[in-house]
């Protein structure tokens, strides 16, 4: 039986064209019983490969294809720096294939990969090349195949068997009987890699030297015909178009045993070993495969867990369970819980489960991490199902007593669930990396690493890379890629056929027929790796023997090559802790510091006496719908819900956060909940037994905990079983069995068949969705804290929001909200602005927010600090000399009026002129930074005759430089035009009757296309038109029949005019849109040709008013942009959930 020993999967980024699953599937089809996976410089695909093999009954062999340091460096030629197009990607390093035999082999393999990537980081880029001293240090358990890409083969190809023999010597010394020569026959001509002659020479040399030759196919894809995809990957890796004559010739697929036997025969004959040569070749290959035995469970550690050793967390060996109990009991006493029998019983229960599962160390580890973070003065909070556990609460990881909030432990961990529970902790986003460093320091680099995250091909990147490969013009490819929304590559053709805004692309799509095949072929292949944003792996000190680590690009943290799913679902023996950076936590911490700086008051947000969970002012604010900037509640939908729900207690907040999720929205639970809450409908339960579970939510199921509870109540089982049933509910394939079990148990329990039916309907409706109450509770705390800050210290709160930008809305909306709520916004001024947002007392005694220097486009931290440190300045020349800004920054500051106070009387353009002159003087100075004694004096006001900036130009400058309209609303210049066209201002929209057709306009602040129950695409857009009052925003809904005309402008333009019908739901007024246009185009038409031109434009771009198709220009992403600079930070876009 033949075994492929050299197989690259898609995890060889931009090299392999098939994912491990596809390779295994193909191998099974071919009847192969063993398959190796040898990705380039990585083992990232190993877990998926092992699982796929286990499912198909194939024995896996693990290895990697590694670049190695040359023994015989070829004379390098120094290349000139290219004038254009960049240098070639260097792939000259020799490569060998390394296979692991058993656990030691795997450890050596991990060490080699780690060494290669470390060497790459040291060299500052290039290929990860294994240094020879690493090879010498870790030779155990490895089998090495020297193939066509290895150094000896290079020598053979060049006709130098003598040199090849010499180059083989060190390999023989190191690997002895486990060294193989690898013959590859790809039917290429010449003597290069893949040629018959090189394969024959390799086999010949093996015989001369008494080495074992093996034959492989150096596989890059599963099936014949995938060659073109491999070409695209080559081109993406080498960054140049496919060169005719240098393509992959389609031979590198997974060949059957017979095909390989035929190749072996050809090679043997060419090597002059007609009789028996092929048999030897195949037998040596089979023997090599048989040697490489690695049990995924035992040797890779899949399925078992390695916690940090007890001594690392400060417990004597064997005492962790006792230490955990002591800590919990001490905490019980501290909280005063020890007198409650229920709580004591709950604690005993939980500790028993934890002990039985053997996880006390885990809890102590998490507790220690949280303690460390707190000690650093960083805000930290647990999120997720962990909040349901009393132990987690007692360890100080989560704030809420689970018994107060009806949280169950079983959602988090139970005896029936063997997978590791996960506790996620939220920390301040700005200090996330500090936390990582602290964890690193505490547990040491042998126990801690971060996670990788493969970046896979989606449609835009696939189009770019396939376009490059085909040599299409870069701008054409760029426009093509940009036209697509962020969807999978696989669905490119479907999108072309279905999405109206892609019509113009679809019209020309025929020209690129070949491109779409390649794009679909690239679907879901990894194209690179990034650092996972929050995962931290904690282990005992065998970590580096079980996983290779790669330094992350920016920060240089070691990251395992495995990704989240590898670690989470399959264990791999790695314990993962999610440390998420939450911007809101940073914002709140900033606000608290700002309050202390200005007033000296120290506020502890986690102190319930200072920030009570039922603070009336905070709840009043929320009931008014003033939730912009408040954690989790600021989306238009949530604001609408706030108005209808009228929250009064912390529990209401939990419900509010949990209700606006896909599950409850789909199951239409909001309405009955609200009716029950406002007492407009009597609360009923299918059966009185369910009352304890459903009473807090007026008989409606919202939370996962309730599903588990209802299951356990109906089937008379424990909560753990209920929780397992809930998990099964989310999996369609398990549904029938679940239903049968449920019906049988419920009938046995004596429930009436009607009740059984009704309850099943309720549960089934919940389906996969639903929200854990523990999540809701964990979210509700920062929600309340941020609302509290907004209600009591608005200026500091806004400063925090603007500094860390946590919300979904662009900063300009936060500014508008601040202004509307009576917090003045002060523009950037070098005499007053700090590097960060600051609160400032104005002349009339109000607290105001001062825009930070850091928001000036392109300013470096250094410059901002220097400018802030040098305040105050006497004049422009003084500013220039001491703050030493770069010329573009000084210019931007002048254009937004930040330098106005330096030269009273001179306008911005005059300052600009002076800056240019100062800049010229500085450049002309013989010694850089030499003190200039005579500065040109400030120009007399008005003496230059330069035209002053108009109000419109000033606004434009603000948008370009700081990305927001700090002094006046950006829609203001359009107001006369809107009035002339009869556009309804947002604050007067309520005066229109329902169903009336209106025109609305504004700047796009948010656009969302959430998945809808009907499966149809609906676009939600919010426009901000700058009208007064609290209703400066219009919310529009576009259903899919309008997308043909409206989708393109909605997605691609910033300023919009829309037509639609007024619609009402409760108090809120929205517009059901029918048409949309780019307001900028209309304004331009109006300036050049008056209203006649506007009419003309509307007729042309509205197909149902003429016969012609709408002339969309595909490349006008830049048309709304005169605001190109930073336009993307002006609005929020998400395919996101309804929340």
Partner 1 sequence: MTTDRAILHLRLHHPPLALYTETFTVLADITPLVQALPPDSAALDITGALTYFHRTPEEIADTLATRLLLRYGLTCAIGGGPTRLHAQLAADTLLPGQIRILHPHHDDTDRFLRTRPTQALPGIGPKLARTLARYGITTTGDLADLPLPTLQRIAGTTTARLLHDRAHGTDPRRVAPTGPPASITVTRRYPADVLDPDTTRQGLLALATDLGTRLRTVDQTTRHLELTITYADRSTTTRSRTLHEPTHHTPTLRDTLYAIHTRLGLQRARIRALTARAGHLTPATHAYTQLTLDPTTEDQRRLEPVLDKANNRWGTGTLRPAALATPGPNDKAPAHGVPIR
Smallest gap from residue 80 Cβ to partner 1 (A): 3
Residue 87 or 508 having the CB closest to partner 1: 87
Which of 30, 121, 163, 239 lies at the binding interface for partner 1 (CB under 8 A)?
Answer: 239
Residue 259 or 916 having the CB closest to partner 1: 916
Pairing of strands 575-582, 526-538: antiparallel
> CA triplet 820, 822, 825: central angle to 5 degrees?
85
Asked if the bond preceding 872 is cis, omega within 30° of 0, the reply is: yes
For residues 1031 and 987, is the Cβ–Cβ distance under 8 A? Answer: yes
Segment contacting partner 1 by CB under 8 A, of 369-377, 471-479, 1056-1064, 1097-1105: 471-479
Quote the CA–CA distance of 896 and 961 in Å, as a whole number.
Answer: 7
1110 contacts partner 1 (rule: CB under 8 A): no
Residue by residue, DSSP assigns 184-205 as E---BSSSSTTBHHHHHHHHHH
3-state secondary structure of 820: helix
Smallest gap from residue 950 Cβ to partner 1 (A): 8
Residue by residue, DSSP assigns 620-642 as HHHHTT--TTSTTT-SHHHHHHH
Which of 31, 84, 923, 929 lies at the binding interface for partner 1 (CB under 8 A)?
Answer: 84
670 contacts partner 1 (rule: CB under 8 A): no
238 contacts partner 1 (rule: CB under 8 A): yes
Sites for partner 1 among residues 178-237 (CB under 8 A): 186-190, 192-194, 234
**Binding mask 473-492 vs partner 1 (x if CB under 8 A, - otherwise)?**
xxx-----------------
Residue 243 or 319 having the CB closest to partner 1: 243
Which of 497, 948, 951, 1092 lies at the binding interface for partner 1 (CB under 8 A)?
Answer: 948
Residue 198 or 382 having the CB closest to partner 1: 198
953 contacts partner 1 (rule: CB under 8 A): yes
973 contacts partner 1 (rule: CB under 8 A): no
For residues 637 and 818, is the Cβ–Cβ distance under 8 A? Answer: no
3-state secondary structure of 212: strand
Which of 909, 922, 975, 987 lies at the binding interface for partner 1 (CB under 8 A)?
Answer: 909
Smallest gap from residue 73 Cβ to partner 1 (A): 18
First-to-last alpha carbon distance for the chain, in angstroms, is: 56
923 contacts partner 1 (rule: CB under 8 A): no
Residue 241 or 767 having the CB closest to partner 1: 241
344 contacts partner 1 (rule: CB under 8 A): no
266 contacts partner 1 (rule: CB under 8 A): no
946 contacts partner 1 (rule: CB under 8 A): yes
Residue 239 or 1138 having the CB closest to partner 1: 239
Residue 102 or 126 having the CB closest to partner 1: 126
For residues 463 and 480, is the Cβ–Cβ distance under 8 A? Answer: yes
137 contacts partner 1 (rule: CB under 8 A): no
Quote the CA–CA distance of 795 and 626 in Å, as a whole number.
Answer: 15
Residue 525 or 815 having the CB closest to partner 1: 525
243 contacts partner 1 (rule: CB under 8 A): yes
Which of 39, 891, 900, 965 lies at the binding interface for partner 1 (CB under 8 A)?
Answer: 891
Letter string b/e over residues 890-912, b meaning 16 or more CB atoms within 10 A of that residue's CB: bbbbbbbbbbbebbeebbbbbbb
Please state, as a whole number, how many other Cβ atoms lie within 10 Å of the Cβ of residue 98. Answer: 24
Residue 84 or 311 having the CB closest to partner 1: 84
Which of 246, 418, 486, 617 lies at the binding interface for partner 1 (CB under 8 A)?
Answer: 246
For residues 515 and 545, is the Cβ–Cβ distance under 8 A? Answer: no
Smallest gap from residue 893 Cβ to partner 1 (A): 14
Closest-CA residue to 449 (of 300, 323, 575): 575
Which of 149, 382, 390, 864 lies at the binding interface for partner 1 (CB under 8 A)?
Answer: 149
Smallest gap from residue 548 Cβ to partner 1 (A): 22
Letter string b/e over residues 332-351, b meaning 16 or more CB atoms within 10 A of that residue's CB: beeeebeeeeebeebbeebb
Smallest gap from residue 195 Cβ to partner 1 (A): 9
Quote the CA–CA distance of 1098 and 305 in Å, as a whole number.
Answer: 65
Handedness of CA 586, 590, 591, 592 (dihedral sign): positive
Quote the CA–CA distance of 791 and 135 in Å, as a whole number.
Answer: 63
Letter string b/e over residues 121-148, b meaning 16 or more CB atoms within 10 A of that residue's CB: eeeeeebbbbbeebbeebbebbbbbbbb
Pairing of strands 847-850, 838-841: antiparallel
297 contacts partner 1 (rule: CB under 8 A): no
Smallest gap from residue 1115 Cβ to partner 1 (A): 14
947 contacts partner 1 (rule: CB under 8 A): yes
Q: DSSP letter at 499?
A: -
Residue 163 or 239 having the CB closest to partner 1: 239
Closest-CA residue to 995 (of 1069, 1075, 1061, 1070): 1061
932 contacts partner 1 (rule: CB under 8 A): no
125 contacts partner 1 (rule: CB under 8 A): no
Residue 86 or 554 having the CB closest to partner 1: 86
Residue 819 or 922 having the CB closest to partner 1: 922
Which of 83, 924, 927, 931 lies at the binding interface for partner 1 (CB under 8 A)?
Answer: 83
Q: What would the two tokens of residue 370 be? A: 């949280």
917 contacts partner 1 (rule: CB under 8 A): yes
405 contacts partner 1 (rule: CB under 8 A): no
1114 contacts partner 1 (rule: CB under 8 A): no
Pairing of strands 549-551, 558-563: antiparallel
For residues 67 and 93, is the Cβ–Cβ distance under 8 A? Answer: yes
Please state, as a whole number, how many other Cβ atoms lie within 10 Å of the Cβ of residue 639. Answer: 20
Smallest gap from residue 509 Cβ to partner 1 (A): 21
| Matching residue, tokens 């950006």 | 970
Residue 15 or 362 having the CB closest to partner 1: 15
Which of 31, 75, 80, 375 lies at the binding interface for partner 1 (CB under 8 A)?
Answer: 80
Contacts with 859 (C-beta within 8 Å, 6 or more apart), sequence order:
853, 889, 892
990 contacts partner 1 (rule: CB under 8 A): no
944 contacts partner 1 (rule: CB under 8 A): yes
1011 contacts partner 1 (rule: CB under 8 A): no
Return residues touching partner 1 (CB under 8 A).
Answer: 79-89, 91, 95, 148-149, 186-190, 192-194, 234, 238-241, 243-249, 471, 473-475, 891, 909, 912-913, 916-917, 944-949, 953
């Amino acid at each position: 039986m033949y075994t492929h020993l050299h197989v690259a999967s898609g995890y060889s980024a931009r090299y392999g064209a098939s994912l491990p699953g596809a390779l295994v599937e193909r191998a099974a089809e071919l009847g192969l019983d063993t398959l190796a996976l040898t990705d380039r410089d990585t083992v990232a695909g190993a877990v998926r490969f092992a699982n796929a093999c286990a499912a198909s009954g194939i024995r896996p062999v693990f290895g990697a294809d590694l670049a190695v340091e040359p023994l015989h460096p070829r004379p390098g030629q120094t290349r000139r720096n290219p004038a254009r197009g960049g240098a070639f990607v260097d792939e000259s390093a020799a490569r060998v294939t390394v296979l692991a035999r058993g656990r030691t082999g795997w450890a050596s393999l991990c060490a080699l990969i780690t060494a290669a990537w470390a060497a790459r980081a040291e060299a500052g880029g290039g290929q990860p090349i294994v240094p020879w001293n690493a090879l010498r240090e870790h030779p155990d358990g490895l089998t090495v195949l020297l193939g066509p890409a290895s150094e000896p083969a290079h020598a053979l190809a060049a006709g130098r068997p003598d040199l090849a023999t010499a180059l083989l010597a060190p390999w023989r010394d190191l690997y002895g009987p486990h060294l193989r020569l690898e013959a590859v026959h790809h039917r290429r001509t010449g003597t290069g890699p893949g040629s018959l002659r090189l394969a024959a020479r390799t086999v010949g040399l093996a015989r001369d030297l008494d080495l074992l030759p093996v034959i492989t196919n150096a596989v890059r894809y599963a099936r014949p015909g995938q060659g073109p995809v491999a070409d695209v990957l080559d081109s993406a890796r080498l960054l140049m178009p496919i060169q005719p004559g240098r393509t992959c010739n389609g031979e590198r697929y997974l060949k059957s045993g017979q095909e390989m036997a035929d190749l072996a025969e050809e090679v043997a004959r060419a090597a002059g070993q007609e009789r028996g040569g092929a048999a030897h070749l195949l037998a040596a290959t089979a023997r090599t495969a048989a040697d490489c035995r690695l049990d995924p469970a035992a040797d890779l550690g899949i399925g078992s867990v390695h916690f940090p050793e007890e001594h690392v967390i400060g417990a004597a060996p064997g005492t962790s369970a006792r230490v955990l109990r002591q800590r919990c009991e001490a905490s019980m006493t501290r909280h005063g819980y020890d007198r409650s029998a229920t709580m004591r019983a709950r604690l005993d229960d939980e500790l028993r489960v934890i002990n039985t599962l053997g996880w006390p160390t885990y809890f102590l580890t998490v507790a220690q991490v949280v303690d460390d973070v707190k000690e650093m003065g960083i805000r930290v909070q647990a999120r997720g199902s962990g909040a349901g556990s009393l132990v987690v609460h007692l360890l100080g990881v989560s704030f809420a007593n689970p018994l107060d909030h009806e949280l169950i432990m079983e959602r988090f961990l139970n005896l029936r669930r063997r997978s590791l529970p996960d506790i996620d902790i939220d920390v301040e986003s700005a200090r996330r990396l500090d936390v990582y460093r602290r964890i690193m320091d505490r547990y040491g680099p042998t126990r801690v690493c971060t996670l990788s995250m493969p970046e896979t091909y989606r449609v835009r990147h696939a189009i770019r890379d396939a376009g490059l490969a085909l040599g299409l013009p870069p701008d054409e490819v760029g426009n093509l890629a940009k036209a697509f929304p962020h969807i999978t590559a696989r669905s490119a053709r479907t999108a072309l056929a279905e999405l109206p805004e892609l019509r113009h692309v679809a019209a020309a799509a025929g020209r690129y027929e070949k491109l779409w095949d390649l794009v679909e072929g690239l679907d879901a292949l990894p194209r690179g790796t990034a650092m996972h944003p929050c995962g931290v792996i904690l282990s005992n000190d065998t970590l580096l023997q079980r996983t290779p680590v790669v330094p992350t690009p920016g920060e240089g943290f070691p990251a395992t090559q495995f990704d989240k799913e590898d670690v989470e679902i399959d264990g791999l023996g790695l314990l993962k802790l999610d440390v998420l950076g939450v911007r809101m936590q940073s914002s709140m911490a900033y606000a608290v510091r700002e309050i202390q700086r200005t007033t000296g008051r120290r506020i502890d947000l986690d102190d319930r006496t200072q920030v009570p969970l039922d603070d009336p002012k905070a709840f009043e604010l929320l009931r008014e719908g003033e939730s912009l900037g408040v954690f989790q509640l600021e989306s238009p939908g949530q604001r609408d819900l706030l108005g209808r729900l009228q929250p009064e207690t912390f529990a209401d907040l939990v419900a509010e956060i949990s209700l606006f999720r896909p599950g409850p929205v789909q199951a239409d639970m909001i309405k009955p909940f609200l009716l029950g809450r406002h007492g407009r409908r009597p609360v009923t339960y299918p059966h009185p037994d369910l009352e304890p579970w459903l009473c807090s939510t007026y008989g409606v199921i919202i939370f996962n905990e309730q599903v588990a509870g209802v299951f356990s109540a109906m089937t008379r089982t424990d909560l753990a079983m209920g929780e397992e049933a809930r998990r099964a509910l989310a999996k369609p394939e398990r549904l029938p069995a679940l239903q049968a079990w449920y019906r049988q148990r419920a009938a046995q329990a004596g429930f009436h068949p009607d009740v059984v039916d009704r309850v099943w309907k309720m549960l089934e409706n919940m389906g996969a969705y639903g929200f854990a109450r523990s999540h809701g509770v964990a979210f509700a705390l920062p929600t309340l804290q941020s609302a509290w800050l907004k209600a009591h210290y608005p200026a500091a709160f806004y400063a925090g929001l603007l500094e860390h930008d946590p919300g979904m809305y662009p900063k300009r909306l936060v500014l508008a909200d601040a202004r509307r709520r009576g917090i003045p916004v002060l523009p950037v001024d070098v005499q007053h602005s700090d590097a960060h947002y600051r609160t400032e007392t104005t002349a009339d005694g109000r607290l105001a927010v001062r825009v930070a220097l850091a928001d000036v486009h392109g300013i470096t931290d250094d410059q901002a600090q220097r400018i802030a440190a040098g305040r105050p300045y006497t004049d422009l020349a003084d500013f220039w000399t001491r703050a030493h800004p770069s010329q573009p920054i000084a210019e931007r500051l002048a254009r937004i009026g930040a330098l106005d106070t330096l030269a009273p009387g001179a306008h911005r353009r005059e300052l600009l002129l002076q800056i240019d002159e100062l800049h010229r003087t500085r450049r002309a100075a013989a010694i850089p930074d030499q003190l200039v004694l005579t500065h040109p004096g400030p120009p007399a006001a008005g003496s230059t005759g330069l035209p002053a900036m108009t109000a419109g130009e000033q606004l434009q400058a603000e948008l370009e430089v700081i990305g927001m309209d700090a002094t006046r609303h950006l829609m203001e210049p359009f107001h006369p035009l809107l009035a002339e066209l009869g556009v309804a201002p947002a604050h007067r929209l309520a005066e229109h009757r329902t169903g009336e057709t209106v025109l609305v306009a504004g700047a796009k602040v948010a656009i969302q296309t959430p998945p809808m129950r009907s499966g149809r695409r609906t676009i939600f857009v919010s426009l901000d038109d700058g009208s007064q009052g609290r209703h400066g925003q219009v919310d529009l809904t576009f259903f899919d029949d309008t997308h043909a005309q409206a989708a393109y402008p909605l997605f691609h333009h910033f300023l919009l005019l829309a037509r639609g019908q007024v619609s009402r739901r409760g108090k809120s007024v929205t517009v059901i849109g029918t048409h949309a246009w780019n307001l900028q185009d209309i304004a331009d038409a109006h300036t050049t040709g008056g209203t006649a031109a506007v009419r003309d434009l509307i007729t042309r771009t509205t197909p149902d008013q003429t016969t012609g198709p709408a002339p969309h220009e595909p490349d006008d992403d830049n048309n709304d942009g005169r605001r190109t600079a930073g336009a993307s930070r002006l609005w929020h876009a998400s395919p996101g959930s309804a929340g």
